[in-house]
Amino acid sequence: MLNSNLTIGFIGAGNMATALIEGLIRTGVAPSRLYASHRRNEPLLSLASQGVHTTTDNTAVAAACDIVVLAVKPQVLGEVLPALREVLGARPRLLISIAAGVQLHTLQEWSGPAQAIVRCMPNTPALVQAGASGLYANAAVSAEQKQQATAIMAAVGLVCWLEQERQLDAVTALSGSGPAYFFLMMEAMEAAGTALGLSAAVARRLCLQTAFGAAKLALESNLEPSELRHRVTSPGGTTAAALQTFEQGGYRELVARALSAAAARAAELAAAAK
Ligand SMILES: NC(=O)c1ccc[n+]([C@@H]2O[C@H](COP(=O)([O-])OP(=O)(O)OC[C@H]3O[C@@H](n4cnc5c(N)ncnc54)[C@H](OP(=O)(O)O)[C@@H]3O)[C@@H](O)[C@H]2O)c1
């Protein structure tokens, strides 16, 4: 858990940083231990009103904090992080980068060779405290710092540690991009429900609640998703008719191809990110 003296700073107070800060406050972290910087003052006002230290000076946040979360877009991190190198080198601290595709060796080159760095791939449901994050640490990260990174990311959802950095490409393909796959399924089901005679509003409400209910049931059950599926599929029934159509259309292969394409693209972007 987070030692109550640790200070935590966020560079780039956008959507993800704000979700993390609000999640941490919700879990009981005192706002006075939290720092956030942004290149403009306006996005900081709401955080300041909650008691978070805010500034337009990234260096001030890096200097003040034991843990620094890099939450700017990947394309600006190459300017932002080297500018913090000197202050980061002044004393040991933990860096957590949520910038998609920026690899550890690049983060290390920009921030200094001895930095303890955790790379993290979150997803957008973090904005409603239902995120899923994959984390990978470099060799300089201690067991205690791993716990600290876990506590920070757990403020907005599930945390999974990885054994290899390249598994972050698979995490990107599965949970990073994953919400969009379910949104596509929702769009398609809503359209199909409307075509079958429901109003768009009723089709949407039923579809969203079904997606939520299926995920909640799968999360809370100790049965495999395949067993849950079997239990709602009577031979010759309505669910069987639909599932047979999915299988005949190559649904599983299509999903496998889609995730492979996303993972390959994540690897390409990571290689080009420097
Ligand atoms: N959202 C996701 O689902 C998701 C998933 C995985 C990873 N990530 C990663 O999380 C990071 C943040 O994503 P986000 O969705 O929170 O993006 P975001 O809302 O755009 O937040 C980044 C913020 O950084 C600010 N900024 C830009 N340059 C800056 C500078 N020099 N100093 C300080 N602040 C600066 C931006 O300001 P302006 O608005 O003025 O440009 C923006 O408000 C990204 O690296 C992204 O790859 C996001």
Cβ neighbours around 40 below 10 Å, total: 8
What pLDDT score does 163 carry? 96
Instruction: Indicate the pLDDT class of residue 274, thresholds 50, 70 and 90.
Output: low
What pLDDT score does 78 carry? 94
Pocket probe for ligand 1: among 10, 11, 39, the residue whose CB has the most ligand atoms within 8 Å is: 39
Position in ligand 1 atom list of the atom nearest CA 40: 40
Identify the residue whose C-alpha is closest to ligand 1 atom 20.
14
What pLDDT score does 271 carry? 81
DSSP 33: G
| CA dihedral (133, 65, 128, 13) positive or negative | negative
Position in ligand 1 atom list of the atom nearest CA 13: 23
Closest listed residue to residue 84, CA positions, set 59, 51, 64: 59
Q: Residue 202 half-sphere exposure, CB side, CA atoms within 13 Å?
A: 7
* CA–CA distances in Å: residue 127 to residues 21, 114, 122, 156, 164: 11, 32, 10, 7, 27
Identify the residue whose C-alpha is closest to ligand 1 atom 5.
123
Q: Which tokens go with 172?
A: 């990107």
The average pLDDT across 13-29 equals: 95
Q: pTM for the full model?
A: 0.94
Give the model confidence (pLDDT) of 222-237 as tens digits: 999 999 999 999 999 9
All domains of the chain, ordered by start, with CATH? 8-168 (3.40.50.720), 178-270 (1.10.3730.10)
Q: Are 31 and 58 in contact (CB under 8 A)?
A: no
92 has a pLDDT exceeding 80: yes
Q: How far is the CA of 140 from the centre of ligand 1 (A)?
A: 26
E strand residue ranges, 60-201: 67-70, 94-97, 116-121, 131-137, 157-161
Strands 94-97 and 116-121 turn out to be parallel
Give the model confidence (pLDDT) of 120-153 as tens digits: 999 999 999 999 999 999 999 999 999 999 999 9
What pLDDT score does 262 carry? 96
Alpha-helix residue ranges (DSSP H) falling in 81-125: 85-88, 104-111
What pLDDT score does 127 carry? 93
Give the model confidence (pLDDT) of 56-79 as tens digits: 999 999 999 999 999 999 999 999
Mean pLDDT of the chain: 96
Higher pLDDT, 113 or 11: 11
14 has a pLDDT exceeding 80: yes
Torsion region of 4: left, alpha or beta (phi above 0 gives left; psi -120 to 50 gives alpha): alpha
State how far the Cα of 69 lies from the Cα of 17, in Å rounded to an integer: 8
Q: How far is the CA of 181 from the centre of ligand 1 (A)?
A: 22
Residues 24/26/29/30 CA torsion (nearest 10 deg): 120
Give the model confidence (pLDDT) of 157-179 as tens digits: 999 999 999 999 999 999 999 99
Instruction: Indicate the pLDDT class of residue 248, thresholds 50, 70 and 90.
Output: very high
Q: How far is the CA of 40 from the centre of ligand 1 (A)?
A: 13
What pLDDT score does 149 carry? 97
4 has a pLDDT exceeding 80: no
Q: Are 83 and 112 in contact (CB under 8 A)?
A: no
What pLDDT score does 267 carry? 87
Q: How far is the CA of 72 from the centre of ligand 1 (A)?
A: 4
Give the percent of the chain with pLDDT over 70. Answer: 99
Residues with CB under 6 A from ligand 1: 11-12, 14-17, 37-40, 43, 58, 71-74, 76, 80, 98-100, 121-124, 176
Pocket probe for ligand 1: among 73, 80, 96, 175, the residue whose CB has the most ligand atoms within 8 Å is: 73
Give the model confidence (pLDDT) of 81-90 as tens digits: 999 999 999 9
Q: Are 107 and 81 in contact (CB under 8 A)?
A: yes
